[in-house]
Chains A and B, each alone.
Chain A
Amino acid sequence: MKPEFQLLHRIAKKDSIAFRQLYEKYSAKVYNTALSYAQSVEDAEEITQDVFVKIHRSASKFKGKSSVNTWIYRIAVNTSLDYLKRKKRLSIVKLNNITVDKPDFEHPGVVLEKKEKAKALFKVIDTLPETQKTAFILSFIEELPRKEVANIMQTSLKATESLLQRAKSNLRKKLEKEYPNRKRKK
């Protein structure tokens, strides 16, 4: 049995040491994925918490059809998307036709001289449709191989590559509007 499968097997038997080991191995991946979706440190922490609670509670149901990495990323992606949908439903977005804009997200890992441009990148990522956003985050931000992205999204490699292409094309179009030195129309 693969070592990670053994970890899940032990977690299913409520082995707290095994759970700690799994957390140490995957918490940064889960947290960074959540951060890319939520674009908020507090929300990302809450999502990460939910993900690991789910892992603990469903460890016994893991059948080994995918790798542990794929399984955990899948939970992280689905939990992040559910969280965003829930937050959107609960938030007061429009009040008397006034839309409240959230502040631009500053990723804590970005180097200082690239922060402004990274802010623009995350701003436009946030506007992508769910599937394009997921494909882009997993491939570009998490730097996962495209085959792994396809496994996580439970789709074909070709479909994943098509999503990525569309995502990049959409991002470029949106970034053209964000370009800071563009002349404003009178």
Chain B
Amino acid sequence: MKKNEKEQWIDDVFDSWQGSARAVPNPDLFHRIEDQLSVVVPMRTWRIASAAAAILLLINAFVIQQHFQNERPMAEEQMQQNSYSNLISNYNIYE
């Protein structure tokens, strides 16, 4: 009998949807849709944003270029220092 009761309950669950009404969306929803559709970014804003992005990229490129240019002389100086100290230590010139 328990099994029949369970099966009946399951059947009732499936039948619970019968006779149900369609839910109705909020009457304000259409206005929200219209509002979303009416949002248009002006072309002038796009142009300003693009120009700002281009300027930032140029600045970054300039800084990076400067960084690598400064690094080369420093590296060369370091190498020269190393060769002097090797010379001194090998030949004990000042001892």
A positions within 8 Å CB-CB of B: 16, 20, 23, 27-28, 31-32, 35, 41, 44-45, 48-49, 52-53, 56-57, 107-111, 114-115, 117-118, 120-121, 140-141, 171-172, 175-176, 179-182
Contacts and interface: CB of A to CB of B under 8 A. Distances in A.
A176 B25 contact: no
A-B pairs with the 9 shortest C-beta distances? A117-B16, A109-B21, A114-B16, A118-B16, A31-B25, A109-B20, A117-B13, A108-B23, A175-B10
B41 to A, nearest CB: 15
Interface residues of B, number: 25
B37 to A, nearest CB: 6
Contact of A172 (B10, B12, B33): B10
Contact of B22 (A28, A117, A180, A182): A28
B8 to A, nearest CB: 10
A41 to B, nearest CB: 8
A181 B33 CA distance: 46
A149 B66 CA distance: 64
Contacts of B29: 27, 31, 45, 48-49
A144 to B, nearest CB: 13
Nearest to B12: A117
B33 A53 contact: yes
Contacts of B30: 20, 23, 27
Nearest to B24: A28
Contacts of B12: 117
Given A52-B33, A175-B10, A176-B10, A110 B24 contact: no
A110 B17 contact: yes
A168 B22 CA distance: 22
Contacts of B44: none
B6 interface: yes
A52 B20 CA distance: 25
B14 interface: yes
B36 interface: yes
Contacts of A176: 6, 10
Interface in B3-47: 5-6, 9-10, 12-17, 19-26, 29-30, 32-34, 36-37
Contacts of A108: 23
6 contacts: A53-B36, A117-B13, A118-B17, A120-B16, A121-B16, A179-B9
